[in-house]
Chain A
Amino acid sequence: MAAVSELIELTAAQAVERIRSREIDQRALFDAYRERAAGDELNAFTWVAERAPAPGPDADAPLAGVPVAVKDLFCTEGVPSQAGSRILEGYRPPYTATVVARLSEAGAPLLGKTNQDEFAMGSSNENSAFGPVRNPWDRSRVPGGSSGGSAAAVAAGLAPWAIGTDTGGSVRQPAALCGVVGLKPTYGACSRYGMIAFASSLDQAGPLTRDVTDAALLLRHMVGHDRRDCTSVQFPGEIELPRSEHLRGIKLGVPEELMDDAEAGIEQGVRTSFEGTLALAEELGASVERCRLPHARHALSAYYLIAPAEASANLARFDGVRYGLRVDGDAELVAMYSHTRAAGFGAEVKRRIMLGTYALSSGYYDAYYVTAQKVRTKIAEDFRAAFERFDFIATPTSPWTAFELGTKTADPLAMYLNDFCTVPMPLAGIPAISIPSGLSEGLPVGFQLTGPAFSESRLLDAAYALERRIGFDGSAARR
């Protein structure tokens, strides 16, 4: 049997193969990761399974018992599901989210629940009621957010792979900052049932993995129509494992609006890595051209109206009546509501509830919410037009590499700018993947490819070809 250090160096897909060929034992793999997750010094986990499931999944099951770390936003029956919030502290749901149940049926048992920004609102994981997560590349820095726990766990080798959720970049941005692969699927590809809602029209589950092949394999078992989520659809065809070694005939568009806007403030190191990756893409046979997404620069404004509006309603259910925190109000209903929500929600969540409530208020609805929806339509049209000329749109994932803890918490707007390159895609409902394109001053940089709806297999294929050419080595973060 292989030593723990060897097990940990396997990608999840490699581990699946070796379990199926009986070279390694799924239980040994689970225990190795369980041990590492339990000794987590990054605060990436909020709960870790006590033991491997017995009996474990069939070794011939598609995912062969390779365990998965799950963002705390997903409901897991009998297991704490707290969404990073004090208001759900200790909450154990009576049911399991569809995506988690599907992975479990495919043979990926639950390894643990990962830390996150409260209700997925944040880009640094500093908004968790359970403390910030540390970036394994530099523990004084943030892992990104909101799926920071999942990204850090995969990067540090505390989990073979993980799932997160992406509303405005919450899978892709932490993947970029932690040097792993993160994919946000087409809206509707994965069921949202059992995923604690932040912004219902944007939220999608997505994989965070060590490489592109793992992302494809995990995603294959996440997608599909769910009769409990009527916004979910049958994914056309199966997610294919990527094989392409070149990018011949692929046309990449680089949007001026996202690259040149001073507001985005793309760091020089990020820019250099991005341009280097484009050069590699050309070497692989791709053509690279400038393109236009005229409304993309308004995406952030539209996003910060639509997402908070939906959140203000989605978070109304946390009222202290049926579950979660309740703080008494001297037998007075409204006081109980106020005290509970004042104590249970963190500052960023309160800020967004207020923003959203305002945007939906009588007299402001047309000016804010309706206008934002119009912008959203324009952004989707921009992408449609761009995909008539280009196969994929390429941008950096995040304008910056991982920043130091505490440096942006005082300035919410600066923090929001982190999402500049990741919010247009969920607004348009289209898929995007972030892969590590290298290091800048010792910190990972993310390269993002965006494709039309349901182009996941092609997107993964292109990302795979680039990944091989880039040859990113993330092993430093696992030590």
Chain B
Amino acid sequence: MSEHPPAGVVDDVDYEAVIGLEIHVQLKTSTKMFCGCALSFGDPPNVHTCPTCLGLPGALPVVNERAVRFAVLIGLALGCEIAERSLFHRKNYFYPDNPKGYQISQYDVPLCRGGRLGEVRIHRVHLEEDAAKLVHLGQSGRIHGSDRSVVDFNRCGTPLVEIVTEPDLHSPEQAREWLTLLRATLRQLGVSDVNMDEGSLRADANVSVRPAGSSELGTKTELKNMNSFRFLERGVRAEIARQVGLLRAGEPVVQETLHFDPSSGQLTALRSKEEAHDYRYFPEPDLVPLVVEEEMRSAARSELPELPAARAERFERELGLSAGRAHELAFRGELGDYFERALAAAQPAQAVELANWIPLLVERIGSDADPADSNVTPESLAELAKLVGSGEVSRDAARTVLTTLVATGGDPREIVTREQLGAITGEDDGLGELVKRAIADDPDAAEKLRAGNMKAIGPLVGYVMRATGGRADGGEVARLIREQVAQRG
């Protein structure tokens, strides 16, 4: 981290925002954190339960070893120090989604400490268990105005990793961008579905503002459970604006926990500092200290895949991709994988061309779909890029070929032949004749072009492209138009 973090935001040069995130990640183990019940999503309520996760009298927790391994993997991926010995604590509070009356979590001796991802330092990473799900019956679906509430314990005891950052973020956009990187990293590790809609990735934000240039932290508020990237960005933006407004009016920011309602854009207080719970943490006597042997740590180290930040860096450095494109492909592991498989069937020199085709493919298959599941094989995409590169197919026509590939699959070269999408060039097929016709059809444009208005070439090129159904090479057409206009002059 630089000594002087980038100055803030909020269209406000007088104040700087300081943001830290607390992220909860549901681990994709086969069983729960402290019992043998299966993890599930969308099953009928209360089918994955046992004495332990229901908090029945006499039941005891036993640590899920795979969850520990996943947490170690996350810690290593974030560059944390993994504690050889860490402790579970009881966090005491009453709520119907918390059947024991305490959550088993880690407190002052967590599994992982320190670390960094991108420009953000990691404070700690620890293991805990998820709560049950409360369902409020009645029209609103919210707790207020509901007739009654029922509890589904299927989720109760799902392994959670909590990742706490240092307050190193300074704008809502940066927070969102960083969370995207974190999600990509976790997805690459294969330890979680990291789906914000389904709650397997949840983010809280600690927000404060301070006069620009100050090194002291202002009073922070906590925004709870923003369940999409967009809401995170909007919620943080709204909170920064609220705090700056308060400070400008000479009023203090009060330490409290807030809920952001994305439909109204309103922030409502859940509880103030005075109402803050005293969780009465103490070491969980039902569990022995968590010991992570060097063997587990070194096994996890050797399992670590190439992580998105490193992959993006490699795409930029070795393949010459732009930073934006490199992030786009590397932060969605499946896109990066697809791209690399296509690249294996192409020439390295075509990397940039090929990379440009991935977003076009994504646009056609749906933004959440994995291209590996589509009709378009990486080899055929490589072939298509090659046809464009060699001038055999125009870029426009190639988009048509791609649409056909997405719909039916097949070999790009055959599609080009069958649908007569091959490029029309100056030497054949009367492209020169078409150019002549375009000039005759719009003499005004030709005149302007001759007078040096380069923009006037647009309608003329458009005429030829329309006439050829996009099969002509745009560059070639423009060259012919300039040539003919100049000849007439």
User: Which residues of A approach B to under 8 Å, CB–CB?
Assistant: 74-75, 81, 83, 88, 91, 93-95, 97, 192-197, 199-201, 227-231, 309-310, 312-313, 315-319, 321-323, 331, 333-334, 337, 357, 360-362, 365, 369
Contacts and interface: CB of A to CB of B under 8 A. Distances in A.
12 contacts: A75-B56, A94-B56, A229-B62, A230-B61, A312-B92, A313-B282, A317-B99, A322-B55, A334-B94, A337-B94, A360-B281, A361-B280
A229 B278 contact: no
Contacts of B96: 319, 321, 333
B57 A91 contact: yes
Contact of B100 (A83, A310, A317): A317
Interface in B123-164: 148, 151
Contacts of A88: 57
Given A317-B99, A322-B99, A75 B282 contact: no
B54 interface: yes
B151 A321 contact: yes
B345 interface: no
B152 to A, nearest CB: 12
Given A316-B92, A317-B100, A321-B151, A357 B57 contact: no
B42 interface: no
Contacts of A94: 51, 56
Contacts of B63: 230
Given A230-B287, A231-B288, A316-B102, A195 B282 contact: no
B344 interface: no
A194 B58 contact: yes
Contacts of B61: 230
Nearest to A192: B60
Contacts of B281: 360
A203 to B, nearest CB: 9
A88 to B, nearest CB: 7
Nearest to B286: A200
A361 B92 CA distance: 10
Given A201-B285, A230-B287, A357-B280, A75 B58 contact: yes
A24 B92 CA distance: 54
A336 to B, nearest CB: 10
A262 B66 CA distance: 55
B282 A196 contact: no
B59 interface: yes
A469 B422 CA distance: 110
Given A231-B286, A231-B288, A321-B96, A361 B278 contact: yes
Nearest to B63: A230
B275 to A, nearest CB: 13
A313 B59 CA distance: 14
B284 to A, nearest CB: 8
Interface of A is mostly: loop
B24 interface: no
Interface class of chain B by DSSP = loop
A365 B59 contact: no
A196 B287 contact: no
B441 to A, nearest CB: 78
B220 interface: no
B28 interface: no
Interface string B219-246: 0000000000000000000000000000
Contacts of A319: 94, 96, 101
B327 interface: no
A310 B92 CA distance: 11
Nearest to A193: B60
Given A200-B286, A227-B62, A321-B151, A362 B280 contact: yes
Contact of A81 (B57, B101, B285): B57
B60 A93 contact: no
A310 B287 CA distance: 13
Contacts of A95: 51, 56
Interface string B48-77: 000100111111111100000000000000
B395 interface: no
A315 B58 CA distance: 11
A313 B101 contact: yes
Contact of A193 (B58, B278, B287): B58
B55 A317 contact: yes
A212 B100 CA distance: 38
Contacts of A334: 94
Contact of B57 (A75, A231, A362): A75
Contacts of A322: 54-56, 99, 151
Contact of B58 (A97, A309, A312): A97
Contacts of B51: 93-95
A321 B96 CA distance: 7
A316 B58 contact: no
Nearest to B282: A360
B59 A200 contact: no
A97 B96 CA distance: 25
A369 B282 CA distance: 9
Nearest to B147: A331
B90 interface: yes
A228 B62 contact: yes
A316 B102 CA distance: 8
Interface in B99-128: 99-102
Contacts of A323: 56-57
A310 B58 contact: no
B57 A317 contact: yes
A228 B57 contact: no
B58 A313 contact: no
Interface string B262-290: 00000000000000001011100111100
B129 to A, nearest CB: 14
A384 to B, nearest CB: 20
A194 B92 CA distance: 22
Given A229-B286, A360-B280, A361-B278, 11 more contacts: A81-B58, A83-B57, A93-B58, A196-B58, A197-B286, A228-B62, A231-B286, A312-B92, A319-B101, A321-B99, A322-B99
B56 A313 contact: no
Q: Top 5 nearest A-B pairs by Cβ distance?
A: A316-B101, A200-B285, A360-B280, A201-B285, A194-B58
B87 to A, nearest CB: 13
